[in-house]
Amino acid sequence: MSRALDLLVTGLRHVARPRLLSVKEPQVARAEFERMARLAFRSPPHLCHIQDRAGLDRIQCGRCAPGKIVLFIHGGGYIAGSPRSYAAMLGRLSLLSGLEICAPDYPLAPEHPAPAAFDAAVAAWEHLIASGYAPADVVLGGDSAGGGAALALLSHLCRKGTPPAALFAMSPWCDLTLSGDSLTRNADRDPFLPAARIRELVDYVLPPGMEAADPRISPLFSDFPDCPPVLLHYGETEILFDDCRRMAAQLRASGAEVSEDVHPTAPHVWHLFDGWIPEARRSLCDIAYFARMSL
By annotation, the residues acting in catalysis are: 144, 238
The answer to whether the beta carbons of residues 152 and 172 sit under 8 Å apart is no
Which residue in 99, 94, 120, 118 sits closest to 165, CA to CA? 99
Distance CA 29, CA 10 (A): 21
Q: Distance between CA atoms of 227 and 166, rounded to whole angstroms? A: 8
Asked whether 216 and 114 are in contact (CB, 8 A), the reply is yes
Distance in angstroms (rounded) separating the CA atoms of residues 198 and 183: 9
Contact assessment for residue 178 and residue 200, using Cβ atoms and an 8 Å cutoff: no
Q: Where are the alpha helices (DSSP H) in the chain?
A: 3-11, 17-22, 26-40, 83-97, 116-130, 144-160, 182-185, 198-205, 241-253, 278-294
